[in-house]
Amino acid sequence: MSPKINQVVNPARLEFVLEQRKKYPMTWDILTPLPSWIKKEGKIDIHRNVFFSEQGFGFQWSGPEYLRIPHRGNIILGPKVEIFSGTNIVRPTLNDTRIGEGTKIDYNCHIAHNVNIGKHCLIIAGTILGGSVTIGDNCYLGIGCMIKNKVKIGNNVTIGMGAVVLNDVPDNYVMVGNPAKLLRNG
């Protein structure tokens, strides 16, 4: 299986980065206050102007009108989760939802209600995850991809930039295009 684009250890590069980190120490910091329904399991980084939206865009048609569905669940952020500015994370309806250890979410992403994200994922700028999407561990979601509501993405999956994913994706797949199709397995 070819190494994943985001999880290749380049010893020379790693040494350089470790030196830089020693020179310019970085702390874990929460720069946007966390509402009570966000729970953290360790040190996390929440950059300025992250949006935690208390009311998800969920409605029930009653006949004459749409009724707003209450959103009362919690979001659990694993240790070393990092979320960059402009990203919007929506409160779930009933169950807890989780963003797993070490996952990093870039600028201006939208994470809709009832989404679950595994460990050590990179979610790049402009990504949109529809409601009830599940993302496995070690996934890489390229710039501006969109995942349809309720789709399940396996572990070690790469989604190319701009892809529109309409169906579940098995472990290790690399998907590209609109509609997204398999580029390779592994």
Ligand X SMILES: CC(C)(COP(=O)(O)OP(=O)(O)OC[C@H]1O[C@@H](n2cnc3c(N)ncnc32)[C@H](O)[C@@H]1OP(=O)(O)O)[C@@H](O)C(=O)NCCC(=O)NCCS
Give the closest residue to 77 by CA, choosing from 39, 108, 126, 48. Answer: 39
Q: Which tokens hold the place of 91? A: 């409160």
Among 161, 164, 170, 171, binds ligand X (CB under 6 A): 161
Which of residues 100 and 160 has its CB atom nearest to ligand X in the complex?
Answer: 160
User: How many chain residues are in contact with ligand X, going by CB under 6 A?
Assistant: 12
The Cα 61–Cα 65 span in angstroms is 6
Q: Is 47 a catalytic residue?
A: no
Indicate whether 164 belongs to the interface with ligand X (CB under 6 A).
no
The Cα 36–Cα 22 span in angstroms is 34
Stretch that binds ligand X, among 20-28, 48-56, 75-83, 170-178 (CB under 6 A): 170-178
Cβ-count burial 112-122 (b if 16+ within 10 Å, e if not): bbbbbbbbbbb
Which of residues 38 and 151 has its CB atom nearest to ligand X in the complex?
Answer: 151
Which of residues 38 and 141 has its CB atom nearest to ligand X in the complex?
Answer: 141
Indicate whether 31 belongs to the interface with ligand X (CB under 6 A).
no
Which of residues 78 and 160 has its CB atom nearest to ligand X in the complex?
Answer: 160
Among 35, 42, 70, 177, binds ligand X (CB under 6 A): 177
Strand order in the sheet with 164-165: 51-53, 88-90, 110-111, 128-129, 146-147, 164-165
Residue 16, by phi and psi: left (phi above 0), alpha (psi -120 to 50) or beta?
alpha
Indicate whether 183 belongs to the interface with ligand X (CB under 6 A).
yes
Indicate whether 176 belongs to the interface with ligand X (CB under 6 A).
yes
DSSP state, 172? T
Among 31, 143, 166, 182, binds ligand X (CB under 6 A): 143
Query: Residue 75: beta bridge partners?
Result: 38, 97
The residues that touch ligand X, with contacts defined as CB under 6 A, are: 5, 124, 142-143, 158, 160-162, 174, 176-177, 183
Which sequence positions are flagged as catalytic? Answer: 113
